[in-house]
Structure 1
Amino acid sequence: MKLDDSVKTIRAIVVDDEALARQGLSLRLKELGNVEVLQECQNGREALEAIAELTPDLVFLDIQMPGMTGFEVVERLQQDNMPLVIFVTAYDEYAVNAFEIHAVDYLLKPIELDRLEAAVIKARQRLQSDRGEDEKKLLLDIVISLTGKSAQAVAELLRSGENPVKTCEKLAIKDGASTTFVPIRDIDWIDAAGDYMCVHAKGDTHIMRTTMKELESQLDSTLFQRVHRSTIVNLDRVEKVSSHINGEFHLTLSCGASLKMSRSYKDKVKHFF
Structure 2
Amino acid sequence: MSKQIIKTLVVDDEPLARRGLRARLERHDDVEVIAECQNGLEAVSTISQLRPDLVFLDIQMPGLNGFQVIHKLRELNQPIPVIVFVTAYDSYAIKAFDVHALDYLLKPADDERLKSALDKVRDYLTTAHQDEQSKKLVSLVAELTGDDCEEILRKLANGEAVETNPYPDVLAIKDGSEVTRVNVQDIQWIDAAGDYMCVHALDGMHIMRKTMKELEQELNPQWFVRVHRSAIANIRFVKKLVSHISGEYHLILQNDTELKVSRSHRDKVKAAMKM
- TM-score calculated relative to the size of structure 2: 0.51
1:8 alignment partner in structure 2: 4
Determine which of 141, 163, 171 is the counterpart of 2:151.
Answer: 163
Structure 2 residue runs of 5 or longer lacking an equivalent are 159-275
CA contact (8 A) 1:86 1:104 kept: yes
* Aligned-partner residue type, residue 87 of structure 1: F
* Aligned-partner residue type, residue 152 of structure 1: T
Task: Spell out the pairing of 1:123-138 with structure 2 (5 A cutoff).
Answer: 123-131=121-129, 133=131, 135-138=133-136
Q: How big is the shift at 1:143? A: 4.6
* Aligned-partner residue type, residue 27 of structure 1: A
Report how many aligned residue pairs link the two structures: 155
Task: Spell out the pairing of 1:174-189 with structure 2 (5 A cutoff).
Answer: none
Determine which of 57, 64, 74 is the counterpart of 1:61.
Answer: 57
Instruction: Compute the RMSD of aligned alpha carbons.
Output: 2.5
* Aligned-partner residue type, residue 113 of structure 1: D
Task: Spell out the pairing of 1:1-273 with structure 2 (5 A cutoff).
Answer: 6-78=2-74, 79-92=77-90, 95-131=93-129, 133=131, 135-143=133-141, 150-153=143-146, 155=147, 157-158=148-149, 163-164=151-152, 165=154
Whole-angstrom distance in 2 between the partners of 1:77 and 1:89: 20
Matched-pair identity in %:
46
Whole-angstrom distance in 1 between the partners of 2:92 and 2:51: 26
Whole-angstrom distance in 1 between the partners of 2:126 and 2:97: 20
Structure 1 residue runs of 5 or longer lacking an equivalent are 145-149, 170-273
- TM-score calculated relative to the size of structure 1: 0.51
Whole-angstrom distance in 1 between the partners of 2:68 and 2:6: 24
Whole-angstrom distance in 1 between the partners of 2:65 and 2:123: 27
Give CA deviations for 1:83-131 in whole Å, capped at 9, x if unaligned.
0000000012552334234332100011101110110110010010014
Whole-angstrom distance in 2 between the partners of 1:136 and 1:76: 14
Pick closer, same or farther for the CA change 1:132–1:96 going to 2, 3 Å: closer
Whole-angstrom distance in 2 between the partners of 1:69 and 1:61: 9
